[in-house]
Amino acid sequence: MQFIRQLGFLKLGSAAPRQGIDDERVLHLFRNRAELKKAHSSLQDEVHRLKERVKQQEGATARVQEMLAGLEARLGQPESGYPALVFYQLRELWAQGRNLLTQFVAELAASQEARERRAFFAEHNQRMFARRQSVETALREAEGRAAEARARVSALEQQLAGLRRFWHYFARRRVRHQLQAANLQSMLCMQDLEAARAAGEQLAGEVPPEFGGLSIDSRRAINLAAIGYGQVLFERLQNTPVMELAREATSLREPPREDYGDRPQCETTMAQIATARTLLQGREGLQNDIRARSDRLRELARYRNAADTVPTAESLASTADGTRVLTEDLWEIYRLLLR
């Protein structure tokens, strides 16, 4: 009977851990199920977003195809084809001026950034050289003091070792005091030496600083030069009949319904556009014109705060030497200026 009760105890004892394992498995399954539901919901949201983007792209593609079909229809007819050619040549003329300004700003910024980067790291190297010299000097001085302190301790130890007679009692006591002070001084010198070595290791492990980019003064100077260049381009086209036509064409996405005249008139306008394109590309005296205009603008320029790099349009248009580039946002100049 006692043997049977022992078997029952063993059976019950083995069933309890089994029940705990099953409970853990059930909890694990529920956790996995919740995570799978969450992942499934996230994937459904992503699929919905992608479907919306596809619909938007299909709509944009349909609009572009409609515009192309309309353009093909216009170009297929002589009475509407020539005005369409004039329209896109006017847009290209205005884009050419903007591209010239974009390239001008990019070249100036790259050149000035290279100079400032070299100056920045040259100054950093000079500072590092001075610090390195100072650390090395401190290290050599600490090594010298530590060597002198160790030599002093060694000399006193040798002197103490020679004082073995009983009549050397007072001499030994004096030397022991001196040795104690010398050991303390040697310990302090070793601490200074370790500090000097740590300073050298810290200096050697320093990461070179990152270049922070163009300075505010440089960005202001580049922006003024770009505004001056934009004014030069504007003045070159100011007296041509295509200036206002080009500005109007940039505000439209497709050729206007009103024509630019008949075929002879359109051919005349296209010839004028070609002349204007040549004026924009002219390089003779360009640097002097930009420099003179920039110098005048620098005297007029006012900024909203010390960190602002774009001058206020009112300050540059306040006198006869001012410019219309900012007030009228010619060539979309605000998008080209450095911030």
Interval 136-146: pLDDT, tens? 898 898 889 88
Asked which of 205, 232, 267 is the last residue of a domain, the reply is 205
Overall domain count for the chain: 3
pLDDT at 28: 72
Cβ contacts of 260 within 8 Å, gap of 6 or more? 82, 83, 86, 87, 245, 266, 269
Does 240 share its domain with 328?
Answer: yes
Nearest-CA neighbor of 222 among 95, 93, 330, 115? 115
Does 185 share its domain with 255?
Answer: no
Given a cut of 50, whether residue 4 has pLDDT beyond it is no
Nearest-CA neighbor of 301 among 282, 326, 279, 266? 326
What's the Rg (C-alpha) of the chain?
Answer: 42
Place of tokens 């602002």: 308
In b/e form, how buried is each residue of 70-84, taking b as 16+ CB within 10 angstroms? ebeebeeeeebbbbb
pLDDT greater at residue 190 or residue 20: 190
Structure tokens at 218: 């440089």
Given a cut of 90, whether residue 240 has pLDDT beyond it is no
Does 331 share its domain with 224?
Answer: yes
pTM score, whole prediction:
0.69
- Please, which pLDDT band fits residue 76 given cuts at 50, 70 and 90? low
Contact predicate 250/94, CB 8 Å: yes
pLDDT digits (tens, 9 = 90+) for 143-159: 898 889 888 888 888 88
Given a cut of 50, whether residue 316 has pLDDT beyond it is yes
Q: How many CB atoms lie within 10 A of CB 61?
A: 10
The least confident of 12-16, 72-76, 177-181 is 12-16
Q: Containing domain of residue 269, as a range?
A: 78-114+215-335
DSSP code of residue 326: T
Half-sphere exposure of 50 (CA within 13 A, CB side): 6
pLDDT at 321: 56
Position 210 in a domain: no
Highest mean pLDDT among 90-104, 169-183, 313-327 belongs to 90-104
Per-chain mean pLDDT for the chain: 82
Place of tokens 């059976």: 11
Does 24 share its domain with 129?
Answer: no
